[in-house]
Amino acid sequence: MNSSPLPRPAPGPGTVRRRISTAVLGVLALVAACLGAVAGAAPATAAGLTQVTSFGSNPGSLAMYEYAPAGLPAGAPVVVALHGCGQSASDYFSHSGWQKYADLWGFALVLPQTSASNNALSCFSWFDPAKDSRGKGEAASVVSMVSHAVTQYGSDGDRVYVTGLSAGGGMTADLLADYPDIFAGGSVDSGLPAQCATSQAAASTCQYGSLNLTPAQLGDKVRASDPGYAGPWPRVAIWQGASDTTVQPVNATELRDQWTNVWGIGQTASSTQSLPGGTTLSVYDDPSGAPAVQLYQIAGMGHGLAVDPGSGAEQCGTAGSYYLDTICSSYYTARFWGLDGSTPPGGGGGGALPAPTGLAVSGTTGSSVSLSWTAVSGAASYRVFRGGMQVGSPTSSSYTDTGLAAGTAYSYTVAAVDSSGTAGPASTAVGATTTGSGGGGSGQCFTASNYSQVAAGRAHQSGGYTYADGSGQNMGLWNVFTTHTLKETGPDYYVIADGGC
């Protein structure tokens, strides 16, 4: 496997879940030499991140790092986050944006770390059955960490989630297949189908091509990972850059096919919508109408984790190698799992009204966005959220949000409220962009080579390709020969304007 980070999906909640217990950990096989662990905790390089040097059985010889916000209540969720090749737990913690939402919404983070002694490129071994199978190697070590964290924080063992980038994404998918009784949901970022390869030599076939398997054959790989298990299955988010040359986009399609088949649903999306950063979201609902699988495809993005630096509610992370400035994947993934306090998909509404459907943008101006949705029977009013923050409470099934910045992208959801004041789960999000030049944006155009655009801070390069800052549009190869015109439509937000400014 090459040195680029490679991510995968994770399982989700269901009607009945097996609790994490010492009995589960007792079956873990000791496959690799354990790290010589000393009881206690040592600080890691990233502020707030702590190493746990004794967490239980560790057949995969992994290191455990953790983070929990001050005052974390009992019963809070746990999110496991797996780094990509050549990265570290500290690196992923610093760039991915997960700390922001752990602080904001109250959950613990577990960040496993592999090393060059396990894999020459410090990749999680998503392609090795001795390390990525139930009860074995690295997979078993991660579950030991989960058990330790659940006990330490008094967390809700039914609300454990896993996410990962690149090779960490590959291991994420394997963990979801191996332990559907442990993980309630997962997110595969620039990753591969579960159990895609059974050797390092076969890994390149997954990365650069298609397995050419049917959805049922892909689903069988999941079902064979924990024989006899019949559900409930994890709810899986899949993130993929359309210009990824390290993990070909066909992997996202095969992930979609695999997990929709496991859920027993079709491969035709229940709904689609446009989100910021050139992102298209396709949602695949379970028979109850709740999202089971979500596929996020990002136009122009190469190989890496989607982040969106900034202070907005929907913004997170910092840009860097394999952390690409497009959209905050951690925000949308956390909301999909219900970590923001909304009802998790499939988690029931506690008698509350269902989530509104048909949310759509009916109009935009330079300072407003108009929304409409299908009325919910029994709703006394609605709550409209912009970026997770409530901005309105109309009694009808429409709303106009005003006082916005021009040329700026926003995301909205809406929830129905019954006569007792109880709000149901939020709808699927819809994106909208106000017209005109963004607040603080000059509206000015800049024509230069891709190399010069990057040097001037109007674009960035990743994997030899150039991407416009803000919009993330693919400008082609990073060199002095390819020339584009960029228009600044908002603060540090540029779009390709080759057709005229």
Q: What is the DSSP string of 108-163?
A: EEEEEE--TTT-TT----TT-HHHHSTTSHHHHHHHHHHHHHHHHHT--TT-EEEE
Distance of CA 473 to the CA centre of its chain: 20
Q: Which residues, at least 6 apart from 127, have a Cβ–Cβ distance to it below 8 Å? A: 1, 170, 196, 197, 198, 199, 200, 202, 203, 206
Q: Which residues, at least 6 apart from 217, have a Cβ–Cβ distance to it below 8 Å? A: none
Alpha-carbon distance of 378 to 394, in angstroms, equals: 14
Across the chain, which distance is largest between two alpha carbons, in Å?
66
Cβ 35 vs Cβ 78: under 8 Å: no
Q: Kindly report the backbone phi and psi dihedral angles of residue 66, in degrees, each rounded to the nearest multiple of 5, phi listed first.
A: -145, 160
Q: Which residues pair with 465 in a beta bridge?
A: 462, 477
Catalytic residue of the set 88, 94, 133, 166? 166
Q: Kindly report the backbone phi and psi dihedral angles of residue 481, in degrees, each rounded to the nearest multiple of 5, phi listed first.
A: -95, -30
Does residue 166 carry a catalytic annotation? yes
Q: Kindly report the backbone phi and psi dihedral angles of residue 36, in degrees, each rounded to the nearest multiple of 5, phi listed first.
A: -70, 95
Q: Which residues, at least 6 apart from 352, have a Cβ–Cβ distance to it below 8 Å? A: 343, 416, 418, 422, 423, 424, 425
Q: Which residues pair with 236 in a beta bridge?
A: 186, 293
Q: Give the full edge-to-edge strand order of the sheet including 465-468.
A: 459-462, 465-468, 474-477
Catalytic annotation, residues: 166
